[in-house]
Structure 1
Amino acid sequence: MTHAELSHAQRCDRIRANPKFQRLVRSRSRLAWSLSAAVLGTYYLFMLVVAFQPALLHAPLGEGRQLTVGIPVAAAVIVLSWLCTGWYVYRANTRFDALGADLLAELK
């Protein structure tokens, strides 16, 4: 291993050992897994209803109406995905960027 490769490896180890980096990784992972679980859980619940209880989604929204329950429910699944994505982007641009900047400032 050359001196440059060794110093790069040492810097990487120093970053990984930093408590701020560990907190950043933990909080990003927790948020990403939580939002992924919410979206996937909602999507698979919708698919289970489609597969095993399709009559629930075929029911009209009101007497004599053409719009069924399935349309707004499917739209809500899509909107939930957008909202979760927006929440992650907001957190990444505020909290995670601030933690990353603090980490970089400390390591310089």
Structure 2
Amino acid sequence: MTGDIISRLGASPRYHTLVRRRSRFGWLLSGLVLGAFTVFTLLMAYEKAWMASPIGAGVTSIGVPIGMGLILFAIAMTALYVWRSNTAFDSEMAALIAELEP
């Protein structure tokens, strides 16, 4: 019976649309995180003096809050994916499976 549902899912255009939407969303968020890490790496490589300059009269450099922001950004993108997956994608998949069950 499970194999029957799987074969019907494979033939369903709604399933393929859902998979495409989920993949596109995942790749978009991955690209954003990769881009942010790439910019940070390039700043570290080519703007060392600026990244090492202290904030105000303190000893903390500009690179520290930027790096912390980068980590928080990656966590936020992961949380966004999990939230969207749990709310939109999983409910659509459950509805599709319920529709295809005999």
TM-score by length of 2: 0.89
Kindly name which structure, 1 or 2, has the bigger radius of gyration based on alpha carbons: 1
1:47 aligns with 2:41: yes
Indicate if the aligned counterparts of 2:5 and 2:97 stay in contact, CA closer than 8 A. no
User: What is the CA–CA distance in structure 1 between the aligned matches of 2:11 and 2:46, rounded to whole Å?
Assistant: 49
Query: Among residues 21, 39, 46, which one is paired with 2:15 in the alignment?
Result: 21
Contact kept? 1:20, 1:99, Cα under 8 Å: no
Give CA deviations for 1:50-77 in whole Å, capped at 9, x if unaligned. 1111112111111x21111000000010
May I ask how many residue pairs the two structures share in their alignment? Answer: 101
Identity of counterpart residues, as a percentage?
37
2:44, 2:8 → 1: CA distance? 51
User: 2:29 maps to what in 1?
Assistant: 35
RMSD of equivalent CA atoms = 1.8
1:45 CA displacement: 0.9
In the TM superposition, residue 24 of structure 1 has moved relative to its aligned partner by 1.4
SS where residue 45 of structure 2 aligns?
Answer: helix
Q: Are residue 100 (structure 1) and residue 96 (structure 2) matched? A: no
Assess, with a 3 A threshold, how the Cα gap between structure 1 residues 57 and 43 changes in structure 2: closer, same or farther.
Answer: same
2 CA distance for matches of 1:13 and 1:105?
A: 14
For structure 2, list consecutive stretches of 5 or more residues without a partner in the other structure: none
- Supply the distance in 2 between the matched residues of 1:59 and 1:17 (Cα, whole angstroms): 58
SS in 2 for 1:28: helix
Please state whether the residue corresponding to 2:55 is helix, strand or coil.
coil
Aligned pairs for 1:53-72 within 5 A: 53-62=47-56, 64-72=57-65
